[in-house]
Structure 1
């Protein structure tokens, strides 16, 4: 169990360091302050991600309704996770755009959002399918 907690802490530190480096690279004014602030703010979220990946107990299989197929359950789980991913992508994009003080075209932003949604849903559906079929 100690190894899992160390891995979770490592993910948290890696996420904070990555965020700090990105903030330092894109900040036009006071990159050191931006790196420190964003790295400090990203640390709890990175640690939470590490906890979810390594420490959280495996969830039990959910019972399916009689009229629900396994595939529809995978699609529902994938789409609900995609909503969370899109909120995260939107927040990170807003942070980068505001720090870098750039004004990208709306078409580019919306296309990127759609691509992120497609990639998230496809990945989550494939993972749910793989997990279910490997058991």
Structure 2
């Protein structure tokens, strides 16, 4: 009898919660991700001190930068080194999931919406002779793209 993850009952499941490294020895991906995250966070702290962003008292400022960035950088390192096939519960081909098709459809249609609205907005500015700061125009394009994607995704999910 097969279990939900495809392994036979009684067989040892070689998948783990945190996954294995995709290269070298098949050890836990955390064994390399955690040290990489710590080193990168220390580098961010040192960079903050070196550039003066850490404030008037550089040591606590640099440590604060390192502490705040250690978990995101460790997660990024884990993503870079983990072998997806070694994760318990991971899909075999996530790019073929229904959610992936919703995202693809929403992205394609939101891109078309954004180009259309940006073109119409540019034409309106040219015809009226109105002036608009570049940062405002870029913000409008980004907000239109995000709103369009969100709306299109919800529509695809319902449909």
Q: Per the shorter chain, which TM-score range?
A: 0.3 to 0.5
The structure whose Rg is larger is 2
When you count helix as a share of all residues, which structure comes out higher? 1
